[in-house]
Every structure is written in structure tokens, then in C-alpha cells.
Structure 1
Amino acid sequence: MKQVIYSVVLVFILIGCGQNNNDSSDGQNDIVPVAISVDLQAPETVEIHEVVTIEAVVTQGEEAVDDADEVVFEIWKEAAKESSETLESKHEGDGVYSLEKTFDEEGVYFVQSHVTAREMHTMPQAEIVVGNPEETEEAQVDDADTSEEEHHHHHGGEVTIEFDPASSSPFTTGEEVKLTLKVFNAEEPLSDADVTLEIKQAEETDAIWIDLKEEEAGNYSGLTSLEQAGNYTVTVHVKKGDIHEHQDFPITVE
């Protein structure tokens, strides 16, 4: 089973004020709740019409989360996210939320669990290869971890990505920033592509994933905020048809 663990940490600040007969003082307590963690379990490969069980195991620390507000699974075929389907999960107990699914066509599919629980939200993603689609090997390589160097894995044209993180500066911890980029194929704007940002700190194992929206032909953007200062790598993933492209860009958050 392929496991994808994705955690989100939210910080809540409670400010309490007290006063007695002799003097008064203001106190502030920072309470950091334990983040929920979602272990998304899905098979890496399946056959057409095979019944597949997909599970999201939700925990908070050592405690199983059985009171999630919502756990749904969004599933789409590669390069067709606009046609995704969202399916309700079944609560099995012990923090396990499951779904049984069959696939009628060969191809590379993506499963993303959307979990809302205890005023937190997280949405890890997994990949499932159904049958023996063409270019399965390239799809698997594209899903692997990227290095610090620039990578290109594409077919069907010369794909270029124009992304200047400095144009979105300053990057300040906790502040929302809009990230914008342009994608070209054979020097023409590439429209209707699936463009996703993977943002990761070198010393961290978990990444933040952001699906960008196309504002105009070849121009994609999305909002994010980063809670920790440090150096990050932004990996831009571009997928459309037989195009599989990803490229790294460094950013610094102060």
C-alpha cells in the first residue's frame, strides 16, 4: 500500500486578562494543539474492474479521530481534474474512513482525501495506475521526489515555465501570498493543463500541495501561506496529455 502522510499545524492564541484588588496584569498563553495526521492508503497498481479499497486513517497524536466533520475522496484521471468525482467515505471506526472503488479505464489516476476534523483541514494525495497505460514509467518518475536540480520529463513539445518567486516577495511567515507563473509549449501558451505546486523545506518530510487555477491562457496562480521561516523548494508540476514536466525554484521565507 502506498502511504502518504500529510499534516497541517494550526496555531491558536488565547489571551486572558485578570485583575485583583492589589494590581492588574495581562497574560497571554500560546496553545498549540496537536495536528491531525492523515495516512492515505491506496494500492499503487490495480486491474480494470478490480474492487479497490482506499482508506484514510485519521489520528491526532496517539488518538484515533472518530469525530471528523468530513472525510471525502476526490478522484480524477490524469490531465482531467476538471472531471473529478467526489465520493463520501464510510466510517469504519478506530479513525479509519474507507471507500470501495472500481476503475473502468486504464490510466493514471489521482486520489485526494479531504479531511476536516477538530477545526483543521488536510488533503494528502496518492496515485493509482490502472491496467497498463502507455508511459506508466514516466508517470511514476514524475510522482517521485525531485532533487534540488532542475528536471525535465516531457513529451510532445518544448515546455517552458516562467516563474519568478522574487516577484511575489516579500515572503513573510504566516502571510498569504499569491504565486503566479506562465507555461508555454513550443513557445505558445499552454492552456487547460493541471498545474500544481509542491512546496517543501529541505529538512521537512511533508510537502504543501497547491492546485493552481488558470486565469488566462497559459497563466496560472494560487494562494498560500508558509508558517515557518527558512529555505524552501517550490516544484512546479505541469501535466497535460503526454506532457509531464516539473521544475524546481528556491524561495526564502523570513
Structure 2
Amino acid sequence: MMTESEDVQVKRHIWTVIASLALIVGAGCSKEENALPSGSPIEVALTIEPQEVVANEAVTFSIKVTQDGAPVDDARETEFEIWKDGQEQHETIPATLQKEGVYTAQKTFAEPGAYNVMYHVTARDFHNMQTQTFTVKGAADQADGSHAAHEHDQASQPEHSAAHEHGSSHGSEEHHHGAVVNMHFQPAESIKANEAASLTVHVQKDNQALTEAAVKFEIWREGEEKHQYVDASEKQPGEYTTANAAFPASGTYTVKVHVEKGEIHDHKEFSVTVQ
């Protein structure tokens, strides 16, 4: 039998332990809450200057990146993917931060015609990409005052997906069946031989995330005939990923992304270097 004094001491000890546990749990929850990223997606606005683009004259592409109305100056990736209508070759140029969330790049076009520009922005756990069409006029068109159509896609709310902190790669478009889709491929930042690697691709059609598609990665090493196929799962709308890609040896590999949904059957090739 414990004395009254011993009983009081035991109760005090129990309450001390309970209070300590409560403080630890509370501190842990606080840290977790502080570690959570903002749930608000980034927003991106694209502008092209001048509005009437003329061949052989510099064009400035600008994107303003914001989150909750505040400028985003720490984007991990900002670039423009540009191609002429009807051509498979795409050119990617990086955009640099100028001020208060504004990233820009310049380019001169030698040939008149219809072009497409797609921006890619990865920032704060989100990836954002949208395409806009514009027309490059010839010098003669500007001189005689004729106005070639300057077409804009006015979609102001681009799709977003959870960002992966990886490098990006772009490939040329191959033949397709049905509708053409846009792809932004993001392999792991560093891929080592004999280690499982993550591969991610963001897929869009008509500037909207292409959801519920069947996506797989076809992988082979340069100079080898053996190909492996890895299915990707959709983690966010239009974002397909796998963490189980295998690269048995160092070298340069080709990753062909296959996308199928209904009448859509498209695929594009990308290059990956394995250490």
C-alpha cells in the first residue's frame, strides 16, 4: 500500500508525462502545418511584343508568374517552346527573370507564317503550360499596310499539375492518329544505372489537361534493339508518372512516350542521359 504522499507523487509524475507528450505532439503538428505548401496554383499570363510580329525583327515573349496575386521570383523552370505550323521541329529557349515575376526571352523569325509558342513554368509544386498561336508577317505585308491575322488563344486559366523538381526535355513530334497532343517530359534530375528512376510527362490537348489516357514509356539504349515498356499512372489531371523506370547501364537512352485515348494515338521521343 502506498502512503498518501507517495500516491500524490505518482499522480504528479503521470500528469507531467501527459503534459510533455501534449507539447511534443503539438509542436510536431505545428511543424507539419508550416511545412505544407500553399494550395493555391500558380497563374501565368503570356504576352508577345510587338503585337504585329514581322520577319527579321526581334520579338519579346513575356510571362508573368503569380501565386495568390503575388509575383513568383523563384520558378525552377521557365522556357518557351516554339514551332511553325506544319513543321515537326520545335525550338526551346529559356526565359530569364526580369522583375517581379516577369520572365522574358527574345527571338527573331526569318520566315513569315503561323507559329505556336508554348510556355513551360515549374514553380512551387506546380507545373503550368499553355499554347498560343501568332502570325509572323513578311516585310512586304507591313509595307503595304495589309494585316495578317494575329490569332490568340484567350484561355486565361491554364491547367496546372504538381511539379516535380526535375530537369525537362522536349522532343520532335512524330506521326499521330486522331488529335495531336502536347507533351512536356520531365525525367528525374539525375538518373543512375541500375537504380529505379522516375519519369513524368504532362499531357494536354487544346490547352486542357488530357485525363484518363493510357500512357506508357518505351525505353531503349542507343544502339540496342531491346525495348522495355513501363506503364504510367495519372497522379494529377494530365500528369502521368512512373517511379519504376529501369536503366541497366550508363549512356544515352531514348524514351518514347505513348498516349492513347479514344481516337487519340500519339507518341513523341525524348533523350535521356544515364550516369
Q: Normalising by structure 1, what TM-score?
A: 0.46
Higher helix share: 2
- The structure whose residues are more often strand, as a share, is 1
Relative contact order: is structure 1 or structure 2 higher (C-alpha 8 Å, sep ≥ 6)? Answer: 1
> Quick check: which has more Rg, 1 or 2?
2
Q: Normalization by structure 2: what TM-score?
A: 0.43
